[in-house]
Amino acid sequence: MSSFFVFVLVTLTMLMLVYLYRVIRGPSVFDRVLGLNGISTKAIVLLVLLGTMFERVDMFVDISTGYALLNLVGALAIAKFLEERGTSEK
Amino acid sequence: MTIEIPLLILLVMTAAGAMLVKDLISSVFILGSYSFALSLVWALLGAVDVAFVEAVVGAGLATVFFLLTLFRTTEKDDVIRRPPVPWAAIIGLPLLGLLLLYGAGDLPAFGDVSSPASTHISPYYLENSVAQTRTPNVVTAVLMDYRSFDTFIETIVIFTAGIACALILRKGGE
């Protein structure tokens, strides 16, 4: 059971690396925004999985909820920024 | 555990990427993902409260504040101009890293029950905090009673920083 969780954790972290490639290399700003959102969804799942491993799901669910809420605020701020500033870089 | 290694790779890659990327807004995004990875590392070490603060402040609020700063500054500093790295840094910083690793070799292992902190201070707090402070939570007792001046001055610092941010960011007026 525990080794299954570790396998899932490592796989999800590898997936985060794939997203990270798009965040760092991504030619346009939108690629970076989508990559960041993908990383944050993986991070939310990872936090709940960590809580299941440590058998303290109640605390970790709080963190991941805070994550998800502030990720929304951050995405809105980025969207507002891009709307008013425009995408100058190509 | 094997999960730590990919997380640390993620951490180093995001830290390097935030410094090496060309424009500032991408740097802000990569810094956000760095905070995600760092928060996962804290959660893995069992420091759930630190992970929570890192997730909320580092990944959420800091990204918004950086974007606000970029939004209110001019186009001029949109692209980073990077001067060539001096030779002293190329030689000195790896030496400093080796020195820090050498110093870290003497630290007790994570969760070591025979380390000085676990043999002297922690048992004292665990045994006496309820009788001395009448607080059911040991962490709260340490933070608010045994280290109350530390917490008090930290609060002053954060309050001052908040006032300064409010004064700088307010709209209109001189």
Q: How many Å from the N-terminal Cα to the C-terminal Cα in chain B?
A: 56
Distance (Å, whole) CA B134 – CA A35: 49
> How far from B38 is each of B32, B72, B83, B174, CA to CA, in Å?
10, 28, 29, 39
pLDDT tens readout for residues B12-34: 888 888 888 777 778 888 888 88
Listed in sequence order, the residues at least 6 apart from B33 whose beta carbon sits closer than 8 Å to its beta carbon are A16, A20, A23, A35, A36, A39, A40, B14
- Please give the DSSP secondary-structure letter assigned to residue B108: P
DSSP string, A39-58: HHHHHHHHHHHHHHHHT-HH
- Partner residues linked to B23 by β-bridges: B79
Supply the mean pLDDT for chain A. 80
What is the share, in percent, of chain B residues with pLDDT greater than 90? 14
Q: Residue B19: closest CA among chain A residues belongs to which residue?
A: A24
Q: Among B23, B33, B59, whose Cβ lies nearest the Cβ of A20?
A: B33
From the CA of A83, how many Å to the nearest CA of chain B?
11
Q: Among B10, B25, B56, whose Cβ lies nearest the Cβ of A17?
A: B10
H or E stretch at B79: none
Task: Report pLDDT for B81.
Answer: 67
pLDDT over 50 (residue A90): no
Task: Report pLDDT for B163.
Answer: 93
Q: Dihedrals φ, ψ of A88, to 5°?
A: -80, -35
Task: Report pLDDT for B4.
Answer: 78
Considering the entire predicted model, what is its pTM? Answer: 0.72
| Mean pLDDT of the A46-65 span | 82
Rg of chain A in Å (alpha carbons): 16
Measured between beta carbons, the chain A residues lying within 8 angstroms of B70 are: 81
Distance (Å, whole) CA A34 – CA A27: 12
For chain A, which residues make up each domain, given as ranges?
Answer: 2-85
Task: Flag if B56 and A66 touch (Cβ within 8 Å).
Answer: yes
Q: Which two tokens stand for residue B141?
A: 């007792």
Nearest of A48, A78, A25 to residue B65 by alpha carbon: A78
pLDDT tens readout for residues B107-147: 888 777 787 777 888 888 888 888 888 888 888 888 888 88
H or E stretch at A65: helix A57-85
Task: Report pLDDT for B79.
Answer: 59
Does residue B15 sit at the A interface (CB-CB below 8 Å)? Answer: no
More confident residue, B48 or B149: B149
What is the ipTM, given to two decimal places? 0.74
The CATH number of the domain covering residues in A2-85: 1.10.287
Identify the weakest region by mean pLDDT among A13-22, A32-41, B64-73, B134-143: B64-73
